[in-house]
Amino acid sequence: MSHIYTKSELWAQLDALHIPHDRVFLMHSSLRLIGQIEGGAAALLDVLIEYFTAEGGLFCVPTHTWANLWATDKEYTLDVRDVHTCLGAFSDLAVADGRGIRTENPTHSMVVFGQRDKAEAFAKDEIDTPSGTAPESCYGKIYEMGGFVLLVGVSHARNTYLHAVDEMMKLPNRITDTPTEVKIRRASGEVVTRRINTHHSTLTPDISARFPKYETAFRYHGAITDGFLGNAPVQACDARIMKEVMELIQSRADRDPLSDEAALPPVWYVKKA
């Protein structure tokens, strides 16, 4: 019989990460890999909110709806009140929970939990973001606030923050030149139309599938703290260090680091003697 994790066991696993509690945390996760929890997914969400907001931090769950851009049966790219996301049961639960504030990012929304004034300030103006992960969006604010990305049972292919770093670095061949029209229905029922640039690269159909190439370099520079949540391995990733490492790689690379499937040459990121 598989182990059923209690709230206190989950809390102890989070404590073992030894990371700050007063920052912003964005968690990408696989609920299936975490395993069985006493009280189910709702209890897991309770623990995460309590743990990461107790000292003034913000806990964020991605609630992306980018798939609606191509869905013929969806009128809105984002309907803030619709609990269905692209990312599965835990993200849907975060929307339905009601304690957080859902951002109005048309394609890459998130639910932000924490002190109301802080959460509102963090989520502000997302409806005007020029792309899903623009530097001025919440993803850029994770960097500004010295936050962390938590990868729970998933790889860096799910690390949406790295798209924001690409945009902060102004890397070519990462987003479309021509904007796409999006339609947002706000919590009030008001419908707003915007135009945003979307993720696109001629290098590969899904550039994020190559983000795991960065992991070895991130580890070398101390960006990642390892642990567990339930049965799932956790990578607690320092947003500022990840950006610094990607900038270092870009400064040394003789080609686009994600131009192929090959591992990154250590000379691009190893400290020089």
Q: In this predicted structure, what is the pLDDT of residue 2? A: 86
Q: How many Å apart are CA 172 and CA 12, to the nearest integer? A: 43
Q: Per-residue b/e over 222-231, b at no fewer than 16 CB within 10 Å? A: ebbbebbbbe
Nearest to 10 by CA among 24, 42, 1, 26: 42
Q: With pLDDT > 70 as the criterion, what percentage of the chain qualifies? A: 100
CB atoms closer than 10 angstroms to residue 33: 14
Beta-sheet pairing, 110-113 with 58-62: antiparallel
pLDDT tens-digit series, residues 201-219: 999 999 999 999 999 999 9
Model pTM above 0.85: yes
Q: In this predicted structure, what is the pLDDT of residue 184? A: 98
For the segment 156-164, the average pLDDT, to the nearest whole number, is: 98
Residue reference for tokens 């690269």: 201
pLDDT at 164 over 90: yes
DSSP of 68-109, one letter per residue?
GGS-TT-S-SEETT----SS-HHHHHHHHH-SSEE---SSS-
For the segment 237-260, the average pLDDT, to the nearest whole number, is: 98
Nearest to 143 by CA among 16, 26, 36: 26
CB atoms closer than 10 angstroms to residue 30: 14
pLDDT tens-digit series, residues 80-121: 999 999 999 999 999 999 999 999 999 999 999 999 999 999
Residue 255 zone, left/alpha/beta (φ > 0; ψ -120 to 50; rest): beta
For the segment 5-32, the average pLDDT, to the nearest whole number, is: 97
Q: In this predicted structure, what is the pLDDT of residue 272? A: 85
pLDDT at 52 over 80: yes
